[in-house]
Amino acid sequence: MAAETFGGNTVIIDLGLARGEPDEYVRPVRSTMPAWFAPVLLAAIVLLSSGASAAPPPPALSPVLSLPFGPADPFTLTGDGDLLVQNYGMLSSYRLADGRLNWQAGSASPTFRLRTGGNLVLMRPWSGNQGDPGTTAVSLTSGAAQWRRSGNVVTIPGSEVLLAVSGVRSSGSGRRVQRHVDALDPVGGTTRWQVPVPSTAVLMGVPGPAGSGPRMLLMHDSRTAAVHDLDTGLLLTQAELPPADYAPENPAVAGGLLVLRHPTPAGRMVSAFDPVTLRHRWSRPAGYAYEVNPCGPLICLTGPDGVRALDPDGGAQLWSRPGWRSIEQRGATFVAFGTPAGEADPAGLIDPVTGQVLVDLRGWRLVSGTGGEDHLLVTRLVDSGSRTMVAVAAPGGAHPEPLADLPAGTGDCQSVPDRLVCRESTGDLVVWAYRRED
């Protein structure tokens, strides 16, 4: 046996042939291993080496950004992947992807809500009894103040046109307006066109012809429905609809139609009208329904007797769920509410075409916002309320898929794809990245 050292700490030991092994052990005539041994050994080596070198998977929930935040400070998530917050006299924009600060701007007065539209942040201060506080527009790109207008500035889903309105305080939701509706230039806040409102009217969006954008409908308290072009304000068509309680939620758009609940000598009815021509399409008994909701391509009537889905082509009933009390759309998903535990409790993620429950949500609570195109985030108190679990609800699983526990005292959460934003009891606002299992 001999040992040699080469330029450092490398040592080669030669055992020679003096160990008593036969010569054929050194250079056998044929292989001494079974035929299956080599490939099995190679596979084991590959598996072990890949397992040793692979990094552990990232946690299901990991913090991206944490900000000091007061209990009354507002925040909102934008469709472009930004977080808008107002605290300590500053309005700030952060990237949800990595927590990077986009911009900060001074904000002297508090706001009760931050909204976006036309590439602007629309800020309306809490008015109390001080009259109309107006709306201030700030650039969503830079944070620079752009303009200020009296009244409230709203948008219609599917359109970037900004509409300045004077709301009727008693209407609650702000969809009932008065005096006039002004379309605004987003750059300078000047009026592009104006439509007068002689008394009051319900303002809402209705679909236009196939391939075109939405239009503005003013449901005047004179029972006149007027459809206007959003680019010019031009009156396109108008018609008198049946007498009804024209509340902010009535009429509604569902199944591609304008649907109205209204009384008749024969009882309460629900009638459907073409949103482009306002031509009457069909009527059927409304039963005890107090609300109309879209159910994908169908029309859902909700009330104390449950949820009924109607065919928009003729109003025929396609399915009914007596135990449910309402339907809500979240992104591309639909959630039914109403369980023995409470009428406002989520029952499940559903297929609106069939009424089938895809994911059982009983015992869970929805997180505000949308988790993604195909899933929602939900939370649940466990261990007698000592822990809050966050989970993903998506078609394909009978129950939500748990992700992780949230810190104690976490609440007021909102979600967008891959991100969860929550207030914590420590006084911080935390952005979490969440990761679903592959």
H/E stretch holding 25 reads helix 23-26
CA distance 281 to 312: 9
- The dihedral sign for the CA sequence 47, 51, 53, 55: positive
- Per-residue model confidence (pLDDT) at position 79: 80
- Give bridge partners of residue 4 from the DSSP assignment: 12
Residues 150 and 124: their CA atoms lie apart, in Å, by 10
Distance from C-alpha of 179 to C-alpha of 197, rounded to nearest angstrom: 5
Residue pointed to by tokens 């790109």: 141
Q: How far apart are the C-alpha atoms of 165 and 180, rounded to whole Å? A: 7
The number of residues making up the chain comes to 438
Tell me the C-alpha distance between 76 and 421, whole Å.
9
CA angle 173/335/292 to nearest 5° reads 50
Q: What DSSP string runs through 277-346? A: T--EEEEEE-TT--EEEEETTEEEEEETTEEEEE-TTT--EEEEETT--EEEEETTEEEEEEETTEEEEE
- What pLDDT is attached to residue 429? 93
Q: Per the structure block, which two tokens stand in for 161? A: 């046109």
Cα separation, 119 vs 115, in Å, equals 10
In angstroms, rounded to a whole number, what is the distance separating the alpha carbons of residues 250 and 244? 8
What is residue 127's predicted lDDT score, i.e. its pLDDT? 57
User: In this structure, are strands 368-369 and 411-416 parallel, antiparallel, or unpaired?
Assistant: parallel
SS3 content of the chain, % helix, strand, coil (to 5): 5, 50, 45
Write down the pLDDT at residue 11.
40
pLDDT tens digit at each of 438 positions of the chain: 444 444 444 443 333 434 333 333 344 444 445 554 555 556 556 555 555 455 566 778 889 999 998 888 889 998 888 999 988 888 999 999 999 999 999 876 666 678 888 899 998 876 555 567 788 899 999 999 999 988 889 999 889 999 999 877 654 455 889 999 999 999 999 999 999 999 999 999 999 998 889 999 999 989 999 999 999 999 999 999 999 988 888 999 999 999 999 999 989 999 999 999 999 999 999 998 989 999 999 999 999 999 999 999 999 999 999 999 999 998 889 999 998 888 889 999 999 999 999 999 999 999 988 777 788 999 988 876 667 899 999 888 889 999 998 888 888 899 998 899 998 888 899 999 998 775
What is the rounded distance in angstroms from the CA atom of residue 300 to the CA atom of residue 342? Answer: 20
In the 8-state DSSP scheme, what is residue 56?
P
**Residue 340 and residue 306 in contact, taking contact as beta carbons nearer than 8 Å:** no
Alpha carbon distances (Å) from 150 to 106, 113, 122, 166, 276: 21, 16, 12, 8, 31
* ω into 251 cis (within 30 of 0): yes
Q: Are 404 and 61 in contact (CB under 8 A)?
A: yes
